[in-house]
Amino acid sequence: MGTKENYDQTSNKNTKAINGLSPEVLSLFNEAMHAERVEEVRKLTGTLHHSDLADLLEGMAVERREWLIELLREDLNPNMIAELDESVLGQLADQIGIQGMAEAVAEMDTDDAVDVVEELAIKDQLEILDALPHDDRLLIEEGLSYPEDSAGRLMQREAVGVPSHWNVGQAIDLLRKERDLPRDFFDIFLVDSTDVPVGSIPLSRIMRAHRHVALNALMVVEMKTVPVEMDQEDVAFLFRQRDLVSAPVVDNSAKLVGVITIDDVVDVIHEENEEDIMRLAGVGEDDDLYDAVISTTRSRFSWLLIHLIAAIAAIAAAYVISLFTET
């Protein structure tokens, strides 16, 4: 467990960092953590959205994070794990082990599973893949085979594609019976006999139409497909320009291989903005933003020293110039 000083720092940091939680809830949580009231901590974390719990873990001192992970290890939400920063994810993986990580990854959508696996050390990646069911492993390995920061890494494989000659009733029956569907989706893609997408239909149109209506009478013809190797920044630009909520991903043969949804794009925009801010601050990709201030400053000392010297030189130059101006 951490010290009282760590507790105070964690409490202040969490209160400022987690927008989804009120200061009152955070105060109750930190008091329960500090007193090690196990059941109360379990109850409070059980009420949190998985994203808020991920933020809470990221904002903790390492020792307290370790204590909470151990407390929750039997009930860790895979969606929460997918939200964790790389450094915190690595700590969690070390703590719950390969089998625990494999079980969590197997329950994730393929896009989240690929994100999680690629952020781990190579040795851990291989061991987790070996521990996965065969079909899940193939999907994740295929996702990892695409270029980094490409649409192939971003997409989820469970796209909903149906034959273009079907009617609404057939599509609804499929959606009710099929178990291997994405957790959340917004459009159905119509494909020809070679699995090439020819149009899309928002779910709202299908729900409002009679069963006998042909799907091709409802489809959006001006559908934009995303090549599997398109850079994720270009994908984000496309979604912004076309006001998309989802888009089909196609391979080099123009066949449907996956789908990208708006939540994936929001993550890309956040990631790109965060990288820009980190570069401005002189923080490298390998730095842990959740380390203590002293260790973070030590790792960036050279960068800070250079800028300090530059600032002093600029002040000295301005002073010299002012002397000449006065004469």
Amino acid at 115: D
242 and 168 part of one domain = yes
For 155, counting Cβ atoms within 10 Å of its Cβ (0-12 exposed, 13-18 middle, 19+ buried), the class is: buried
Give per-residue pLDDT as tens, 308-320. 787 787 787 776 7
Domain that holds residue 308: 292-327
108 and 203 part of one domain = no
Taking a C-beta distance cutoff of 8 angstroms, is the pair 140, 130 a contact? no
CB neighbour burial string for 246-282, b if at least 16 within 10 angstroms, e if fewer = bbbbbeeeebbbbbbbeebbebbeeeeeeeeeeeeee
Give per-residue pLDDT as tens, 75-96. 889 999 999 988 899 999 999 9
The predicted structure's pLDDT at residue 192: 95
165 and 143 part of one domain = no
The predicted structure's pLDDT at residue 276: 56
Given 84, 118, 149, the domain boundary residue is 149
What whole-number distance in Å separates Cα of residue 162 and Cα of residue 141? 25
Give per-residue pLDDT as tens, 195-254. 999 999 999 999 999 999 999 999 998 889 999 999 999 999 999 999 999 999 999 999
263 and 296 part of one domain = no
64 and 193 part of one domain = no
145 and 10 part of one domain = yes
118 and 225 part of one domain = no
136 and 116 part of one domain = yes
238 domain-assigned: yes
207 domain-assigned: yes
- Which pair of tokens denotes residue 138? 């193939």
CATH of the domain at 205: 3.10.580.10
201 and 303 part of one domain = no
**pLDDT-based confidence at 125, cuts 50/70/90?**
very high
- Which pair of tokens denotes residue 61? 């001192």
211 domain-assigned: yes
Contacts of residue 290, defined as CB under 8 A and 6 or more positions apart, other chains included, come to 58, 59, 60, 85, 87, 88
The predicted structure's pLDDT at residue 274: 61
Average pLDDT over all residues of the chain: 83
The predicted structure's pLDDT at residue 69: 92
Number of neighbours of residue 30 by Cβ within 10 angstroms:
22
Residues composing the chain: 327
130 and 27 part of one domain = yes
69 and 113 part of one domain = yes
10 and 134 part of one domain = yes
